[in-house]
Structure 1
Amino acid sequence: MEYQYAVKEGVFTLKDYKKGLEVVSYRGEDIYLTVPEKAETGEGEKPVISLGKKAVLSCKTVRQIRLPGTIEEVGDWAFAYCDELREVHLPQKEIRFGRGIFRECGRIRRVSVEGKTADVGGLLAASVTLLDAPYLFAPLRCGEEDWLRQWDARMLQILRAADKDGYSKMVLCGEEDYGSRENNLDYFLNQKRKSKVRIAFMRLLHPLKLQDEVRRELEDYLRDHTPDSGRTQRPVAGKEDDGMWDETWQVLREEHGEDSEYYKLFTKIGCLTEGNFDRLLSEAGENYPEMKAWFLKYKEEKIGYTDFFEELSL
């Protein structure tokens, strides 16, 4: 038997499941969505213990989802294709998770767990969205030293792998349409390096127990992939082509131009220099005035004198 549970801008459909209820689906336009802890049935209230397969699939308005302390299972693709999803809140308990729960959730930043820090929440989300490591998606042990060591080991495995890894297999197995840009080697290498840049940004922004030598390697990677950053453009692990490396700036401009923590880190580690300032300020365009203002302030204080209004015209 199915039941309806109304929320502010939508409705959950639930059904009897084991000793409680399972969320079958959600339909609505809520931005902040809280799964109920219990719901009324013909036999009285029952706890909600499962978020079913594809329960919140492709909900385009939801930015934040909170699961109750009664939850025990999250089914396959439960949050998949939620384009605007930024954060999920979980209770600190053992939960069985299905496959691909965050598939194509490209904007998710944090999976917050009750009692855990914000750094842990960011790394927990990235374990599946950036590292493709479902074994690290463990709300109970996330943040522990052993978990962090495993997280960093997986990160370095990806970062140090050759950029061409996987290309031949993709082409030979026909994973992409023949003639598509995905089959182009330059495009493949660019996308591979951008994925590494995203990982480096994420770990530096969530530096919980990050070892100094690993921090330096991540910072070097971001600088190495910023033109005229002041570092010698030298061959590094996974770098086979001779083109100018621009992926750090691409990721910042295309994905995080409004995120102050990203562009402040970009300047803090020395990616913005006198050599690339004019170009980057011009390419920032009119879309990110706060980032441009920060770059101007940084140049005046750290690089050297600048005429604010003259540079702003760029």
Structure 2
Amino acid sequence: MKEYEYNTGDGSLRYIVEPEGVCITGWQGRGWLARVPERIGDSPVTAVGRKAFLSGKNLREICLPPGLRSIGDWAFAYCNNLERVLLPAGCDRLGKALFLDCGHLDCVEGVCPDAEGGERRAWTPEVGRLLAAAVIQMEAYYLLEPKAVGSPEWLRKWDLRLEAVMRAGDQEGYSRQVLCGEEDYGSTDLDAFLRAKRQKKVRLAMLRLLCGEGLSPDMRQYLEQYLISHTMGCESEETWQVVLAEGEERPEYVQLFLGLGCAGRENIESMIRQMGEDQPRLRAGFLRYQQEQLGHNDFFAGLSL
């Protein structure tokens, strides 16, 4: 079948014309954004073929049209810098391993047609972050079902998977890593493996608390307690380690950490001493929290996200 080329301004799409519409078969470009149009010529774009965006190292964002119906295997695999995807909520044929090794994927937003022929968001950005985490962090590809995303049942399934991840032993998977030479944690050292495993749990717990749609009181309490039990001064300190490493760029982590009382008079001085000169916002936030006596309401009102 003859292959054509379509210039998007940010790069070029290769495509073929099938009876039901256009199928995107490839992408080439140096830009960070790939935007697939709704139509090419007189034909609607209805499919993205297998491996179409494979190894697009420059891509940080891919926007797909709301009328897309099918996405082939490995369509976005190995796009290592991909952060955001606009996914059609009506897409009913999804291939395997779409986001394989897309470790920076932060949000999968949903899009669907509106009554006026335009497009609207199919689920909230918060749910989009949960969907990305389900696929990338929790290996729950079964949650990649666009027509169900954001529903109460979908959120229930998400939380069941999260609970399984949180309650799994920290050492689980270590033997496989050593025997198979996996490098997910960068080391076969057991202590490093355990720290990385707990830090992953901390990030997932924070994400769910920050994106709290449909979160049950019992699950909220469990996640909050997990974070509190891993602050500085506890047997392991992964909650603090994540905030120290990422809080400068993620003020929402800082707000959650302080709001849960993870910093107190017994440990806040030590926390501040560990902060580097390249973390002025993090340091300022902790100093302000300390000066305002660890928890006055006006502190949180003034902490911008």
TM range (shorter): 0.7 to 0.9
| Match in the other structure for 1:145 | 152
- Pick from 89, 94, 102 the counterpart of residue 92 of structure 1: 89
Query: Would the alpha carbon gap of residues 14 and 147 (structure 1) be closer, same or farther in structure 2, given more than 3 Å must change?
Result: same
Note the residue ranges of structure 2 that are not aligned, 5 or more in a row.
Answer: 111-120, 297-305
Q: Does 1:282 align with 2:287?
A: no
State the Cα distance separating 1:283 from its structure 2 match: 2.7
2:14, 2:91 → 1: CA distance? Answer: 24
SS in 1 for 2:25: strand
SS in 2 for 1:22: strand
Q: Is the 1:63–1:85 contact (alpha carbons within 8 Å) kept by the matching residues of 2?
A: yes
| Match in the other structure for 1:248 | 239
TM-score w.r.t. the length of structure 2 is 0.85
Query: Would the alpha carbon gap of residues 20 and 276 (structure 1) be closer, same or farther in structure 2, given more than 3 Å must change?
Result: same
SS in 2 for 1:280: helix
| Match in the other structure for 1:312 | none
What is the CA RMSD across the aligned residues, in angstroms? 2.3
| Match in the other structure for 1:270 | 261
Per-residue CA deviations over 1:115-162 (Å, capped at 9, x if unaligned) read 312221111111111211111111111111111111111111110111
1:34, 1:95 → 2: CA distance? Answer: 20
2:85, 2:247 → 1: CA distance? Answer: 20
Q: How does 1:193-272 map to 2 (within 5 A)?
A: 193-228=198-233, 233=234, 244-272=235-263
1:76, 1:100 → 2: CA distance? Answer: 6
Amino acid at match of 1:11: S
State the Cα distance separating 1:17 from its structure 2 match: 3.6
Q: Is the 2:68–2:91 contact (alpha carbons within 8 Å) kept by the matching residues of 1?
A: no
SS in 1 for 2:193: helix
| Match in the other structure for 1:65 | 62
SS in 2 for 1:303: coil
Amino acid at match of 1:32: L
| Bigger mean CA offset, 81-90 vs 187-196 | 81-90
| Match in the other structure for 2:39 | 38
User: How much identity, in percent, do the aligned residues show?
Assistant: 38
Amino acid at match of 2:25: V
2:265, 2:14 → 1: CA distance? Answer: 58
Per-residue CA deviations over 1:45-94 (Å, capped at 9, x if unaligned) read 22221212222223233222211022112222222232332221122213
| Match in the other structure for 1:12 | 13
1:14, 1:254 → 2: CA distance? Answer: 43
SS in 2 for 1:302: coil
State the Cα distance separating 1:304 from its structure 2 match: 8.7
Per-residue CA deviations over 1:2-32 (Å, capped at 9, x if unaligned) read 1111122211111234522221221112233
SS in 1 for 2:292: helix
SS in 1 for 2:26: strand
Amino acid at match of 1:290: R
Amino acid at match of 2:123: K
| Match in the other structure for 1:291 | 282
Report how many aligned residue pairs link the two structures: 284
Q: Is the 2:176–2:182 contact (alpha carbons within 8 Å) kept by the matching residues of 1?
A: no
TM-score w.r.t. the length of structure 1 is 0.83
1:104, 1:291 → 2: CA distance? Answer: 30
